[in-house]
């Protein structure tokens, strides 16, 4: 496993991190979740990402139990706040009330005194950004989070938050966007702004919800038991990639992966890690062997000819529109 600084901060993270968006607490049993976390730790992954809303707060609980015997200073633990965690009107968003209550709930479920990174899971258009950042500052000063970050914020929103963070003297160091060979909406605006501000990307879905593994075949129904057949596993997120045009082009990547000595999953993860603004790529797993395969992408360098060959194949189906950065339908 190789490691990178998160943005221009001093925090060092594993360049492949482990996330439990649709697995822990919903898709897989706790024993399997524990086995996947153990596989990640054994492979050298030190960075773990979750959120209070995943599986209705259960994902934090499972991850906390899976990590309870680990040396706390030896791992980087990330969580998020924004999506609803209860039925009340204030059980959502980035108000001071929700943030202050949510951090305490997350720490309790994770079984820790602090998280290394506390992230705004989306931008809250109903709460003044000043209120949000002041609440984050109080969380940091209380020692409940060491750094703060955001997820799926636009370049303009990032700049506003970063300016406020500087005034409040707290470290805003990261953004967590969707990013893959197929979904490149951050490249035009978010990445340049982040490079300027010293913000690093912690990217989710580098395999495009599994489509870039090549297991979905054009002209055929999704394999039984795959994510595309399971609503609990986010089937609606995959739907946009299941056209025959996309799947045909993905199949054409297989010879490139073979020539590089990589599995399709490894190629997809290695591809996002070629972007110097990417600090870490989040993987998820329902089986330990998936972790074992994915981590082999760490340290892989793809040459310019291979990157061009990939672009030549998939460019017609790549999404690049910066306006898609903050799609309300996305929920990692």
User: Cα–Cα distance between 148 and 118 in angstroms, integer?
Assistant: 5
Residue 242, number of CB atoms within 10 A of its CB: 16
Residue 164's nearest CA partner among 191, 137, 138 is: 137
List the Cα angle 61/137/91 in 5-degree steps. Answer: 45
**Active site amino acids:** 54
- As given in the structure block, the two tokens for residue 184 are 């490149």
CA 85 to chain centre: 19
User: Cα–Cα distance between 142 and 131 in angstroms, integer?
Assistant: 17
Strands 76-81 and 115-120: parallel
Q: Is 224 helix (H, G, I), strand (E, B) or coil?
A: coil
Q: In what helix (H) or strand (E) does residue 148 lie, and over which residues does it extend?
A: strand 145-150
Query: Is residue 285 packed enough to be buried (19+ CB in 10 Å), middle (13-18) or exposed (0-12)?
Result: buried
User: Cα–Cα distance between 190 and 153 in angstroms, integer?
Assistant: 8
User: Cα–Cα distance between 14 and 278 in angstroms, integer?
Assistant: 11
CA dihedral sign, ordered 50, 52, 57, 61: positive
């Amino acid at each position: 496993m190789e490691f990178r600084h998160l943005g221009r901060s001093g925090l060092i993270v594993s360049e492949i991190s482990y996330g439990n968006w649709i697995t822990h607490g919903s898709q897989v049993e706790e024993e399997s979740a524990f086995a996947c976390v153990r596989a990640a730790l054994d492979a050298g992954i030190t960075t773990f990402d979750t959120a209070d809303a995943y599986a209705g707060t259960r994902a934090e609980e499972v991850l906390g139990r899976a990590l309870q015997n680990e040396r706390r200073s030896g791992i980087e633990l990330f969580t998020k706040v924004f999506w609803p965690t209860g039925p009340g009107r204030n059980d959502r968003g980035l108000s001071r009330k929700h943030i202050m209550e949510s951090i305490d709930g997350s720490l309790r479920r994770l079984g820790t005194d602090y998280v290394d990174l506390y992230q705004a899971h989306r931008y809250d258009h109903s709460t003044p950004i000043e209120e949000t950042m002041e609440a984050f500052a109080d969380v940091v000063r209380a020692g409940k989070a060491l750094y703060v970050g955001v997820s799926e914020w636009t370049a303009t929103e990032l700049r506003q938050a970063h300016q406020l963070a500087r005034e409040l003297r707290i470290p805003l160091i990261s953004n967590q966007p969707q990013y893959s060979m197929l979904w490149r909406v951050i490249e035009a605006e978010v990445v340049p702004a982040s490079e300027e501000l010293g913000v690093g990307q912690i990217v989710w879905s580098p395999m495009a919800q599994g489509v870039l593994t090549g297991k979905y075949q054009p002209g055929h129904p999704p394999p039984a038991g795959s994510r595309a057949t399971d609503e609990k596993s986010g089937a609606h997120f995959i739907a946009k990639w299941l056209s025959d045009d996309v799947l045909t082009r993905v199949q054409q990547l297989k010879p490139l992966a073979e020539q590089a000595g990589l599995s399709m999953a490894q190629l997809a993860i290695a591809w996002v890690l070629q972007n110097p603004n990417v600090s870490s790529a989040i993987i998820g797993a329902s089986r330990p062997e998936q972790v074992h395969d994915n981590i082999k992408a760490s340290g892989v360098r793809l040459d310019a000819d291979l990157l061009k060959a990939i672009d030549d194949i998939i460019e017609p189906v790549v999404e690049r529109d910066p306006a898609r950065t903050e799609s309300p339908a996305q929920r990692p």
